A and B are shown apart, each in its own frame.
Chain A
Amino acid sequence: MEIAEQIESTVREVGARVRPQLNDAKRRLTSLNGDVTSYIKENPGRCLIGAIAVGFLIGKIARRA
């Protein structure tokens, strides 16, 4: 029983320590996603042409390999 309580308390402690970092990472990823999405929506032509170019290069590399 004591071991179980110890494990539980350790897990709680680790969770309390890691939770703010996880929340921060989540917030950062959400803002990055928003930035990327808005950039794509503002410059659709540039992004699509860039994606086609990147795909073309990957295709060329895959063909050579």
Chain B
Amino acid sequence: MRRMAVMETSEQNPANGHRTDGSWVNDSAHKAWDRTRGAVSELKRAAAIEQRVNRNPYGSLAAALGIGYVLGGGIFTPLTSRIVALGLRLGIRLAVLPMLKDEISVLADALAGEGESKGRRGGKAAKPSGER
């Protein structure tokens, strides 16, 4: 059965089953293009790129810029280290300083309370000495 089919095809296509006119190049190119388009649309659907872009256009652009930067080999460069250092500095300022501020204010309140209580005690203790 298989042999017959092979024979039929070889009869239809005289040069060992391959067409000689070059149309098979066109066919395979079309097939490859279709496959690529299918893969791209599948990728788009899987990653929900359009939804992401609609939700956060600037963020997705920044992400694409970052991907390009990494692909361009800019990850281990002085510019990256500068950017990372700046980001860390800003992050520390934004995240740690409010916490420190809170801690310092609590400490200052505690010290002020202690000082007042000491002052009261000192005042009571100082009165008799002043009377002398």
> Are both chains from one complex?
yes
Residues of A within 8 A of B (CB): 36-37, 40-41, 44-45, 47-49, 51-63, 65
- Chain A nearest Cβ from B90, distance in angstroms: 20
- Chain A nearest Cβ from B88, distance in angstroms: 18
B61 at interface by CB-CB < 8 Å: yes
Q: Given A44-B50, A59-B73, 5 other A-B contacts at CB below 8 A? A: A36-B57, A41-B53, A47-B61, A52-B64, A59-B74
Q: Which of B49, B54, B77, B80 contacts A48 (CB 8 A)?
A: B49
Number of chain B residues close to chain A: CB under 8 A: 25
- B-side binding surface: helix, strand, loop or mixed? helix
Residues of B within 8 A of A (CB): 49-50, 53-54, 57-58, 60-62, 64-75, 77-80
CA separation between A51 and B61, bound complex, in Å? 6
- A-side binding surface: helix, strand, loop or mixed? helix
A56 touches B79 (CB 8 A): no
Please give, as numbers and ranges, the residues of chain B lying within 8 Å of A40 by CB-CB distance. Answer: 53, 57-58, 60-61
If A60-B73, A62-B74, A63-B73 touch, whether A41 touches B68 (CB-CB below 8 Å) is no
B53 touches A44 (CB 8 A): yes
A55 touches B57 (CB 8 A): no
Q: Which of B49, B69, B79, B80 contacts A55 (CB 8 A)?
A: B69
Q: Which of B50, B54, B72 contacts A60 (CB 8 A)?
A: B72
